[in-house]
Structure formats: structure tokens, C-alpha cells
A and B are shown apart, each in its own frame.
Chain A
């Protein structure tokens, strides 16, 4: 890196399409898919834990233990089965989101006021309808708060996946930058992945606003605060 400028604009223009654009799209896909997988698993798990409380402590421990496994180790563990396909990244990253999403689903459902639940029963909602039409919508702000934390965490963790050659912006940093001692791709990779995190977070905020118009002008105390369950945990490498 001696003497070379930090940013080589020329390189960026030449590679805008191929490595940069491709890697960005890969990164987006590799973040989005685990989130979706995580949400699909966390919803039934969280709902089950909220309904049958004794289930929660073991599940909570389980998802936390999963989170404690270094991602790199999981990637290598999966390689023999899934090869260099996207699944090698999606499965571990999806499992990591559970540590954030499951507690949020549970606490979201737990904070549905008892009188609201009772009223739903008294109106003649069956259990499934009550869940879908009353409990989940009321829990939504807390669930989305968890989703925001999980999204940012996943976007940052996807970079690690490149260490095993799966793609994403990490690949840009590693192969184009680090291996060739060329700083521009590293800077571009970092800037883009931070920007991606911002944009996705912003989109989730907008989505929540659209989905929960009823929380918009609540006093700040009553408004569902974003839960930071699981967020305090350090990054995962």
C-alpha cells in the first residue's frame, strides 16, 4: 500500500459493475435470506414459548448457545454438506438471528395487555384468529425492533462469510483488497456495507410506520421501545 492513494477513483469506475455491483447484490441477498429464515423459525418458536412458558428457558438457552458458536467454525462445519453455495452462509446467519428474534417475539406477545387478550376471548375469537388478528399485530412494534437489530447484525456478519469464499462485500475486501495490497476495494467494501445497514434499517423503520399507524403519536413512554434483547452481545466472528 506504500504511497498509493487510499481511493483510486479510476478503479472504482472500471469495476463499478462487476466486482462492486455484483458483490453488493450478493451481500444483500446473503443478509436478506438469513433474516427471512430466522423470522420463519423465530415466529413459531416464540409463539410456542409465549404460550407454553416452561418451554422458554431451554429455548432461550439454546438460541444463545447457537449464537456463541463462532460463525467461521459453523461455515467450515457446513462446507462438506453445502459446499460453496449460499446455504453455507444462510443457515448459520439465520440461526444467529434467533438469539435476537425469539426473545423479541416472546416479549412482544407478553406485553399484549391482559385486558385486550381477555376482550378478544370474550368477543369470540378462536385461539388462531386471536393470535393473527390481535396478538401479533399488537406485538409487531417489538418484533420489528428485534428485526432491526438482527438485520444490522447480519449485514455486518455476512462479510465474514467471504472468508470461506461465499461472496458478498467481504469478498471484495478480501480478494480484491487484502490479497493484492490495494486499499480502494477495502474502503469501498466498508462504506457500502455500512450504507447497506443504514438503508435496510431505514426501510424497516418505514415499514413499521406503515404497518403500525396506531403507534405513531403515542406518548413516548407508552410507545413500544425497541428491545435490546440480544443486542448487547458482541459481534460474532
Chain B
């Protein structure tokens, strides 16, 4: 656990970067510092490994004041990743990753073996070991940065906007990778960003900083979106927070209907009768493997030529589907909104249709979420 107790940092020029910060960052969890530019996130982060010394207050890791430890020794036990990766241009990828083990006095051979191991962990191809940093893409450099930070297996990892210099697609990939790594490694991660979406996605807890270096709110991402502490936080998280918060609720809670999902071979007349009996304007045609083909309009079924089947009339695309087991309510809502039929198709892991849900029915579920105080256990990640 990392504790900030009444920590203030005043720079020599008088700037108060951090003002009376008190915070507890739980072991094995990812805490995100988010906030506008200049709100003291980097300063707070750097006080943990003593790259910046607080003016007053105390920072402790597992109860031990960081000021009781030699700065260089302390830093070797804390991984650090920064925006431009900060890789050493004169060292190969392998030797960059081996940096901290070598500082700790490991043999070159052992340090390199460890570095090779980490290249695999962060998803770098072995051929890249002998390259120099400038020969890598931004995303690859960032991976090397993460590998270097992890090389000596430090319990604490500090990350200062590690993914903000890469394009959105690569960034999402790196975030996924970090989440996967963290599943296994359970490090105490402090992650700085000014992107609220990234904060909500990566963090187990989010600390929102405001200008002047004070804490505006400290809570779980879901609570942050549900109950912003004040106008500042509300504006900072964005007014679409309602929709974004749906990311925290699993789609598996939705009541899907299967009675409007019919085999493509069903004769039009029979399908038409079912639609009328259900009072449904749209039917979903599925193939023999129960995979979706398309939507058929009930009105068209009434007028269909005798002998035609549902499949002949299922001409409206089903859009994108959501996975019932793993996706969130947000994905289901998105699928429904984008569907020409106004209905979302839920599938299982094999792509077989589980059922469909109309926008109107989704509305009920969303409303229930809005009034729910706690997210359900096993809430899904966005």
C-alpha cells in the first residue's frame, strides 16, 4: 500500500503543485491519477520514487517512509514508464530491458535471459532484441519501456502517460495488454493520464485532481461516473457519463427474447402468423447453425409470394452483434442503436444467436441500472 499523508509540494518558484494530498493506494491494484494539465499528477507520482521531494507531509510504501531509503536503491525497486518511453538510444532493446537487473548486480547473462523472457511477456518478437530503439515503432518502444520497468520484478509500477504518444488503435491494444498483464502480475500500479476514458478503463480506483493540486474525487470508476462529487468532476468526466457507465454492467442481465428468432426455411405464411401473434414488426432469420442471416419485416411477410420462406425476405442486415457472456450493456445499446430494425442481436461465444432485444426493452434495463447503487458482482470491463 502506498500512503500519502498531507503531502504538499511547493516548487522553489512558489508554485504549489500538490496541496495537502492524502490518499491510500491499495496493494496489487491500479490507481489512476487523472486531471487537467498542471494539476500535479506527475509531481505526485514522482514523489513516490523521490524524483521530487515533498515540501511537507509523508509518503510511505507498506508503512515505510520513502525518505528512509536511499533514492537510487528505492528507485530500483519501483518500475517507471514515461510517455516517450525514455529508452536509452545507445542500447539495444535487450540491454535496455536488462538495465535495472544489471544495476542490481545480476550477471550479464542472467539479466539478458530475464530480458528475453520479458520481451515475450510484453509481446515483442525475439528478432527485435538486437535492434536499437529508433528502429522500433512508437507502440513497440512503449512495450520495451514496460518490459524495462518490469525487469527486476518490482512490486510497484509508476506510469506517467505511458500510452498518450501513440495512435488510438495502438493505445487500446496497449491498454488491453496492460490489463492482461495486471491480471497475472498484480502489481501496485500508479497510472497518470489526462484521458478520462483511459482512467475508467485501466483503473481499479481513480483519483481526480483539480488545478492547484487538490483531490476532487477518489473512487471506483463506476462510482465516478455514477456520482461525480461536484460540477468540476462532472464536467471533467463528460456529460455522456450515463452511457459510458453502462460499460460496467454485463449484458447477460438483459432479458433476451428468442420467440422472434426463426429458421430461414420457415414458410413466410407461418412466420407472418408468428409475428402477428407476438405483435412484433421484425423477425430474425437464422441459418442451420443458428447464426444470424438478417431481419425480415412483418409487413413484407404478409405480402410475400406463396411458397417463399423467411430467408428470402430477410434482407435487412443485422448490423453488429453483442456477445451475451462478455459484453457490457453499453455494447448491447450500441448494437441496438445501430441496427436498422432497432433491435440488437445477442450471440454466444460461437456466434450462435441467443436472443434479441429491442431498444424499448433495453431502456428498462438501463433505467434499472441508473437507480442501482452498486454494480453487480463480476462487472465487466469496458
Contacts and interface: CB of A to CB of B under 8 A. Distances in A.
Interface string A116-143: 1011111111100100001001101000
A119 B90 contact: no
Contact of B49 (A113, A115, A122, A218): A122
B88 interface: yes
Contacts of B49: 122
A124 B73 CA distance: 6
Interface stretch (B79-87, B240-248, B314-322, B358-366): B79-87
Residue among A118, A122, A134, A217 with most chain B CB within 10 A: A122
A9 interface: no
Contacts of A232: none
The B interface is mostly helix, strand or loop, or mixed, namely: mixed
A140 B100 CA distance: 23
Nearest to A141: B90
Interface in B63-83: 71-76, 78, 80, 82-83
A115 B88 CA distance: 9
A109 B64 CA distance: 36
B51 interface: yes
Interface in B109-137: 132, 134-135
Contacts of B57: none
B86 A214 contact: no
B83 A115 contact: yes
B38 interface: no
Contacts of A212: 90
Contacts of A140: 90
Contacts of B91: 214
Given A121-B51, A122-B51, A138 B88 contact: yes
A214 B99 contact: no
B75 A119 contact: no
Given A124-B100, A125-B72, A126-B72, A119 B134 contact: no
B88 A118 contact: no
A170 B235 CA distance: 79
Nearest to B46: A122
Contacts of B82: 115, 118-119, 122
B181 interface: no
A222 interface: yes
Contacts of A222: 134
A128 B287 CA distance: 71
B99 A116 contact: no
Nearest to A120: B88
B264 to A, nearest CB: 57
Please name the 3 residue pairs, one residue from A and one from B, whose CB atoms are nearest each other, closest first.
Answer: A119-B86, A124-B76, A124-B75
B128 to A, nearest CB: 14
Given A119-B88, A121-B75, A122-B49, 18 more contacts: A113-B84, A116-B86, A116-B88, A118-B51, A118-B86, A119-B80, A119-B82, A121-B51, A122-B75, A122-B86, A123-B99, A124-B72, A124-B73, A124-B74, A140-B90, A214-B134, A217-B135, A218-B134
B103 A124 contact: yes
Contact of A116 (B72, B78, B89): B89
B76 A123 contact: yes
Contacts of B71: 124
Contacts of A120: 88
Nearest to A126: B72
B92 to A, nearest CB: 8
A118 B46 CA distance: 11
B91 to A, nearest CB: 8
Interface string A191-208: 000000000000000000
Given A118-B51, A214-B132, A217-B135, A123 B80 contact: yes
B159 to A, nearest CB: 11
A123 B75 contact: yes
A122 B73 CA distance: 10
Residue among A115, A212, A217, A222 with most chain B CB within 10 A: A115
A115 B84 contact: yes
24 contacts: A113-B84, A113-B89, A115-B83, A115-B85, A116-B87, A116-B88, A118-B86, A119-B82, A119-B87, A120-B88, A122-B82, A123-B76, A123-B99, A123-B103, A123-B148, A124-B75, A124-B100, A134-B88, A137-B90, A138-B90, A140-B90, A212-B90, A213-B132, A214-B134
A110 to B, nearest CB: 15
B86 A115 contact: yes
Interface string A62-88: 000000000000000000000000000
Nearest to B76: A124
B98 to A, nearest CB: 11
B44 to A, nearest CB: 15
Given A116-B89, A138-B89, A222-B134, A125 B84 contact: no
Residue among B72, B75, B89, B158 with most chain A CB within 10 A: B89
Given A116-B89, A138-B88, A123 B100 contact: yes
Contacts of A124: 71-76, 100, 103
B127 to A, nearest CB: 16
A120 B83 CA distance: 14
A219 to B, nearest CB: 8
A129 to B, nearest CB: 8
A133 to B, nearest CB: 9
A124 B90 CA distance: 18
Nearest to A217: B135
A212 B89 CA distance: 10
Contacts of A119: 80, 82, 85-88
Interface string B175-217: 0000000000000000000000000000000000000000000
A7 B135 CA distance: 53
